[in-house]
Amino acid sequence: MKLLLIDVDDIRADKLAPIIAWTGIDMITINDSNADIYQLVGEMHPEIILVDTNSPNRDTLEHLAQLQKNAPRTVIKLENTRSEGINRLAAEAGISLYAIDAVPTALLQALIDIAIAYFHSIDQLRYEAEHIKPIIEARQVLNKAKRFIMDTYGLAEDQASDLLSKNADRQRRPVTEIARQLLDTGSFI
Amino acid sequence: MGAIHNKNGLRLEKADVTLGFIPLTDCAPLVIAHEKGYFASEGLNVTLSREVSWAGIRDKVGLGILDGAQMLASIPVASRLGVGGPKIDMVSAMVLDLNGNAITVNNQLYNHLYEIDSRSEFSPLIAAQALQCLIEENKRSKRPKLRFGVVYPCSTQSYELRYWLASAGIDPDRDVEIVVIPPPKMVTAMTDGDIHGFCVGEPWNTLAVQQQIGHVVATKYQLWNNSPEKVFAVSESWSKDNPATHQALLRALIKACIWLDKKENRRLTAKIISQAAYIALPEETVALSLMGSSLKHHGLPPEKVDDFHVFHRYSANFPWLNHAEWFISQMYRWGQLTTPVNIEETVAAVYKPGLFRIAAAALGIESPSIDRKTEGNLHEKMMLTKSQHIGPNQFLDGKIISVGGIIKYLEKQNLSKADIPALRLINAQKEV
C-alpha cells in the first residue's frame, strides 16, 4: 500500500514517518511546489494521500478524483457519520485525507486516530518540557547554592537548605533569588 | 459566555466568526464589510482567513473550521449532490457578485486564431469557431491536444470555458485537455507553457495581458450577461444553529455590496483589496476591471464595460433558484452528474431566497417576489433606461431558459451527456 504525503512540511512529515513505516505502508513525500500532481498520482497510484489542508494542489486532487474512478478522493466523513478525528486532523495537524474507496473505514479510522494521538502527544510533550524548564533551572541553582554553602561553611545538606530558607524568610524574597545572589556575589544580602 | 446583543438588541448566537476567502477581486464584499466596519456594527467580531483552494474552503465549512466563506456559486450545489467531492450540505442565502471572469489564451494561440479570423479580436463566438478550425487542423497533423486551465472541476469557470468551447462544437472532454490549477499559479503556468489558455476570475486575466503573455477572447459577461459568480455559503447545520448570526452577516455583506457598487468607491476598493493581506498584487492591476475597464489585448486600449463586476444592482445579491438549476444542467451536460435528481427540490435546499429577503427587508431593500426568472431574453440594447432591478441576461448562444424549462433547455444543448428521459421521469410534473 502506498501513501503519498503532499506539501506537508518536514516537521510534520518526520513525525508521521515512523508510525507509517511501522504499519508497513510505503510513504512517499512530495514537497515541491512545482510538482506535476497529475503525473505523480498517475504514475504512483497511491491508495491514500495526506495533503496539507492549505495546499494549493488540493483542487487538482479533486479533479483527479473526478477524472479517474479509482483515484483517491476526499474523505470528510466515515461511514456517513461525521468523524471528530477527521475534523481534528484538519484543525490540529493541518492535514486533509484522500483515499480510494477500497480502503476500509476501520483502517482510515485507525490511521487518523494514531496520527492525531501522535501529533498531539509529541506537541504536548514538547509544550510540557518547555514549561518545566524554569523549574529545572531553579532546582539547579538551589543545588549549586547548597553545595557552595556546604563547601564554604562545612555544613550538612539540610543545614545548608535551612540557612537558605531562613535568609529568604528574613528578607521576604524567594529562595531561588537568594541562591542566585549567593552564587553571583558570595553574599546572602 | 453570556448572550451577545448587537446594537439592534438582537441576540447573536456567535459573535466571533471566522470567514474564508480566496485572493480574487470578488473577495471584496467580505474585505469591505470587514474594513468598513459593517461586521462590527452588527456586533460581529469577524476574522478573515485567506485560503488557497476551493476544496479547502469547502471542507473547512463542512467540518466547521470556518463559519462561512466566499464560494464559487456552483460549489454549494455540487456539494449537495456529492459531485466532484464529498457530499456536504451547505446553504447559500446570498450572491456576492455577478460576472468578473474571463477566458485568456496565450499569444501563440491567439495569433493562430487571429490568422484564421481576425474578428476573433472582439467576438468570442468567432474566436471559438477559429479555435475549432485549429483543433481540426491539429488533429489532422496529429499534434497534441491544447491544454486549458480552470480552478476547480465544478467551478463556474469550468462551465463557462466548456460553454464557450461547445458553442463552436468543440468537445471539452475529447478535443482539448482541461487541467485544474489554483488561481495564483495560473499566469505562471501559461508563462511556462504548461497551458495554452485558462478561464479564471480577475485580476489574473488582466495580469496575463499586462505581462504580455496572453489575450482575453471572452468575458463571463459575454458568455452569459450578469450570471452569478461567488456566493456566501455556510453549512446547513451552522445556519440552523446560528440564525441570528447568519442574518447579521448577510446584512453586513449586503451593505458592503451596496457600497462596492458605487463607481466612486471602486478606486478605494482596489487600494484596499490589493494589499498584502488580501490579493497581494499591484493596485493598478486590480483597479482596471473594478473601474469598468476590460483589458483584452496589450497595445489596445481597454474596453469600457461598466458591468464587468456587479456587486449589487440588477438584484445581484438575490440567490435565484434558476441560477442553481443552470449549474445542475451543466453537471448533467458534461456527465459530472449521472443519477437523475429532482432539480427543483435540490436547488430549493441549497439556495435560500427566503433568508435573503429577511436580511434585505431589515435594511429596507426590496427583493424580487419570485424565486425564478427567465434567462436569455433581455439583450443589452433592450434596456432603455438602466434598470436597477433587472439587467441584461443573454447567453452567448442566444438560448432562452423559461421558468421551469431547464430540462427543455438541457435537451437542446449540443455534446450533452444528459439522460433526458430519465430526468423527465423524476422531474415530469414540474415542467411547463
Q: pLDDT per residue over B28-61, tens digit each?
A: 999 999 999 999 999 999 999 999 999 999 999 9
Which run of H or of E encompasses A103? none
**B101-223 maps to CATH 3.40.50.300:** no
pLDDT at A15: 82
Residue whose grid cell is 482567513: B49
* B1: Cβ contacts below 8 Å, ≥ 6 apart: none
Which of A61-65, A176-180, B175-179 holds the top average pLDDT? B175-179
CB contact under 8 A, B86 and A90: no
Give the nearest chain A residue to B177 (CA atoms): A67
So what's the pLDDT on residue B10?
Answer: 66
Segments of chain B assigned to CATH 3.40.190.10: 4-99+227-360, 101-223
pLDDT for position B6: 53
- In the predicted structure, residue B8 carries a pLDDT above the cut 60: no
With a cut of 70, say whether residue B385 has pLDDT above it: no
B88 touches chain A (CB under 8 A): yes
pLDDT for B4 equals: 55
Structure confidence at residue B7 (pLDDT) = 54
Count of residues in chain A: 189
Question: Any bridge partners for residue A51, and if so which?
Answer: A6, A96
Task: Give chain B's end-to-end CA distance (angstroms, integer).
Answer: 52
Q: B85 and A65: CB-CB below 8 Å? A: yes
CB contact under 8 A, B153 and A38: no
Read off the amino acid at residue A115: A
d(CA A134, CA A131): 7
Which residue on chain B is closest to A92 by alpha carbon? B65
Taking only residues 31 to 50 of chain A, the set having a beta carbon closer than 8 angstroms to any beta carbon of chain B reads: 38
Task: Using a CB–CB cutoff of 8 Å, tell me whether B153 touches chain A.
Answer: yes
B4-5 and B303-304 strand pairing: unpaired
Q: How many CB atoms lie within 10 A of CB B310?
A: 25
Q: How confident is the model at residue B409 (pLDDT cuts 50, 70, 90)?
A: very high
Q: Does A62 contact B64 at a Cβ distance shorter than 8 Å?
A: no
Where do the domains of chain A lie, and which CATH numbers do they carry? 2-103 (3.40.50), 133-185 (1.10.10.10)
Question: Which residue matches cell numbers 466563506?
Answer: B69
Cis ω on the peptide bond leading into residue A18 (within 30° of 0)? Answer: no
- From A59, A65, A91, residue closest to B65, measured CB to CB: A91
Poorest-pLDDT segment among A152-156, B201-205, B365-369, B416-420: A152-156
The distance of A105 to chain B (nearest Cα, Å) reads 15
Task: Quote the DSSP letter at residue B382.
Answer: G
Nearest partner of B347 among B91, B97, B94, judged by Cα: B91
Whether residues B179 and A76 touch (CB distance < 8 A) is answered with no
Asked if B390 and B384 count as a contact pair (C-beta separation under 8 A), the reply is no
d(CA B24, CA B28) in angstroms, rounded, equals 8
Does B181 contact chain A (CB < 8 Å)?
A: yes
Q: Which residue of A has its CA nearest to B173?
A: A67
Whether the predicted pLDDT of B183 surpasses 50? yes
**Is CATH 3.40.190.10 correct for B4-99+227-360?**
yes
Contact: B152, A76; criterion CB under 8 Å: no
pLDDT, residue B337, reads 96
**Cell numbers given for B4:** 451577545
Instruction: Read off the DSSP letter of residue B428.
Output: G
For residues A80-105, one letter each, b for 16 or more C-beta atoms within 10 angstroms of the residue's C-beta and e for the rest, the string is: eeebebbbbbbeebbbbbbbbeebee
Contact assessment for residue B333 and residue B416, using Cβ atoms and an 8 Å cutoff? yes
B339: exposed, middle or buried (Cβ count in 10 Å: 0-12, 13-18, 19+): exposed
